[in-house]
Structure 1
Amino acid sequence: MNDFPGPDTDLDSVFGAVHLGYLVAHSRRLTEWRRFGELAIGMHTDALDEDTLRFRLDDHACRFLIRRGHAEDVTALGWQIDDHETFERILARVADRGVPIEEGTAEDTALRGVQRLWRFPGPKGIATEIFTTPMTTSEPLRMLGSGWVTGEAGMGHVAIVSREPESMHGYYRTLFDSRLSDFIDENISGLKMKIRFLRVNERHHSIAIANVRGVKLDPLRTRVQHVNIQSATLDDMLAAYGRVTELGFRMAWSVGQHTNDRELSFYCVTPSGFELEVGWNPIVVTPEREAAWEATTYQGISIWGHHTVSETVLDKLARVRAAAGRLRTPEITVPELTGGMSR
């Protein structure tokens, strides 16, 4: 139910009725993904067949869908829409701008655990998928912690590095009436960037966009920089940190606390190379806070912690080689949905 006030000039706002529902990734490393998701992070695992893994965080049948493939990356983001009227309104925004829309097949909906699915292009080549009704299950969760925070806030957030940040911001504003939560100015490994944080519901942000405009090549091989999920307790988050380390998965950033949403978290590297942030207790933008919210710029990502964990020489060489292969490659945008915000 959308309890948030819409912008005064837009009575048709869909803000508050949109929630990150699932992600789809393709990987050849399903054995490592199972070890990572089940034994390190502690999520519920369902192996549908030798080519398909699903991870659950709650009663939704699917939150992470990992399919055998060569991308080693996130290929689609699934967004849950509260009701059919809002669903049709979003589809109309896409269709009216001439963006191609594809209906999901029966196999697509079954794998993702949803009843209805439509797909269309998204920034950086990540498909946007929207659905109304998730399939839920009463099967008990087999997890190593007490649970994960989802509900009205969705399953978490996704962070993307972009050389076209205004286009990406415009895309999510046009599509979901996203609102700007705040900015962070940061210098990471000599790379100065301004990160903008967009919310589409009570979660402080469902999309983070790191601006690297002017950089000739994308500093990351993967389309997403990280995906975030939220632990139910601090003990759950710290236990996952210990398991990731003990099982030999690479830690990217140690435990720390963010300046803007105050979330405590750590970042580790998934078997596909993008990062997973496991966090706890971020700010929730309630309707009361929403009414008075003003975007602020923070200096630095963290109040404390989040120290980088050293890469090996081979890791650095692989990153440089992958980046060189993308030199002068234009970033994929969806200009019809930028709302005039592209540069």
Structure 2
Amino acid sequence: MNGNARTAEDPVFGAVHLGYVAVGSRRLRDWHRLGADAIGLHVDELDTDTLRFRLDDHTCRFLIRRGPAEDVIALGWQVDDHRTFDRILARVADRGVPIEEGTAEDAALRGVERLWRFPGPKGIATELFTTAVTSTAPLSMLSSGWITGEAGFGHVAITSREPEAMHAYFRTLFDARLSDFIDENISGLRMKIRFLRVNQRHHSVAVANIRGLRIDPVRTRVQHINIQSATLGDMLAAYGRVTELGFRMAWAVGQHTNDRELSFYCVTPSGFELEVGWNPIVVTPELEAAWEPKTYQGISIWGHDTVHETLADKLAQLRTIAGRLRTPEITVPELTGAATQ
């Protein structure tokens, strides 16, 4: 099947946007420092167990809830209208995948009116909603702003030993289209990275192929989450604050080959990376009409130099790897077949 195909009767592509990320962590104080003082986000402390980060008028873009995971536990996807929402849920239900409605508390914490949840790849719950709770209260943050809107608030990158299954999952649900590939060698590991778009953002999901490895070298379910600065100055200022406050930098400032985004990557208190970027390509309707996927050699035109790990970092990684030998990757087989027509 052509990964870029869309159906006339069920136009899901373009009507879905990454709405929020939910994280389980015991390190709320460190998350507060990273979000407010380093990255420059608006932070709301709901109680001693709950932080929320705002980037715009949505009351929640990041939910940090006290828990043992130290990882992303759910991705929330906003759907434009109830008709499209029903089509997506029908695709899930028709394949026998269990769907549950989130509790009123779940919805309130995530800043949405209602949500429905079902399994996603690598154990990350997929949550759908149509209406976000918004606020006119002024944002208190060091950044001048963030790019969200029609493209959602950013993207997620995931390593996978089952990349075709993950691609099929998002194609089945959202009619995801292939933007392009990148071939890259990272720390001696040769991989092909697949970039998927579900709207005008160049990619909302990036999947790094690590097929053939007995273990996933990335402990966390996601490798990184991306957010987009409104200005180059905002991005560079955040880079300076992250460095000054002692948070570990994974990749210094550089520019990507495929979407041309300038960005840096820092390590969050939960271990996955946060990419702060600026000015990626937008796949406008004019570009969409003629888009052809390409393969790029290397992730960066320039920069994105790696920051050397300490011995403690290496030992921690080895302990993680030793504890995960032969652990199968979680997939959702019912949603990795052909997309609904």
Shared fold, TM over 0.5: yes
Would you say the 8 A contact 2:5–2:175 is kept in 1?
Answer: no
**Which of residues 10, 26, 29 in structure 1 aligns to 2:27?**
29
1:275-328 per-position Cα deviation (integer Å, ceiling 9, x unaligned): 000000000000110000000000000000000001100001101111111110
**Which of residues 212, 217, 220 in structure 1 aligns to 2:218?**
220
In structure 2, what is the equivalent of residue 237 of structure 1? 235
In structure 1, what is the equivalent of residue 292 of structure 2? 294
Give the Å deviation of 1:11. Answer: 2.7
Gapped runs of 5+ residues in structure 2? none
In structure 2, what is the equivalent of residue 3 of structure 1? none
**Which of residues 139, 146, 159 in structure 2 aligns to 1:161?**
159
Give the Å deviation of 1:48. Answer: 0.1
1:132-184 per-position Cα deviation (integer Å, ceiling 9, x unaligned): 00000000000101100000010100000000000000000000000000000
Give the Å deviation of 1:9. Answer: 4.5
Q: Aligned letter for 2:96?
A: G
Would you say the 8 A contact 1:18–1:79 is kept in 2?
Answer: yes
> After TM superposition, where is structure 1 displaced by more than 2 Å over at least 4 residues in a row?
6-11
1:215-262 per-position Cα deviation (integer Å, ceiling 9, x unaligned): 000101100000000000000000000000000000000000000000
Cα distance in 2 between the residues matched to 1:324 and 1:125:
20
Is the counterpart of residue 141 in structure 1 residue 132 in structure 2? no
Quote the RMSD (CA, aligned, Å): 1.0
**Which of residues 65, 70, 87 in structure 1 aligns to 2:68?**
70
**Percent of paired sites with the same residue:** 80
**Which of residues 170, 187, 190 in structure 2 aligns to 1:189?**
187
Gapped runs of 5+ residues in structure 1? 1-5
Would you say the 8 A contact 2:44–2:52 is kept in 1?
Answer: yes
**Which of residues 273, 277, 296 in structure 2 aligns to 1:279?**
277
TM-score by length of 1: 0.97
Q: Aligned letter for 1:314?
A: A
Would you say the 8 A contact 2:6–2:13 is kept in 1?
Answer: no
**Which of residues 320, 327, 331 in structure 1 aligns to 2:318?**
320
In structure 2, what is the equivalent of residue 96 of structure 1? 94
Is the counterpart of residue 80 in structure 1 residue 54 in structure 2? no
Cα distance in 1 between the residues matched to 2:249 and 2:214:
28
Give the Å deviation of 1:13. Answer: 2.3
Cα distance in 1 between the residues matched to 2:6 and 2:261:
30
C-alpha spacing 1:9/1:127, structure 2 compared with 1 (3 Å): closer
Cα distance in 2 between the residues matched to 1:339 and 1:138:
43
**Which of residues 324, 329, 333 in structure 2 aligns to 1:335?**
333
Q: Aligned letter for 1:305?
A: G
Alignment length, in residue pairs? Answer: 336
Q: Aligned letter for 2:95?
A: R
Give the Å deviation of 1:7. Answer: 4.2
Cα distance in 2 between the residues matched to 1:8 and 1:281:
27
C-alpha spacing 1:8/1:114, structure 2 compared with 1 (3 Å): closer
Would you say the 8 A contact 1:7–1:13 is kept in 2?
Answer: no
Cα distance in 2 between the residues matched to 1:9 and 1:98:
22
TM-score by length of 2: 0.97
Cα distance in 2 between the residues matched to 1:140 and 1:95:
40
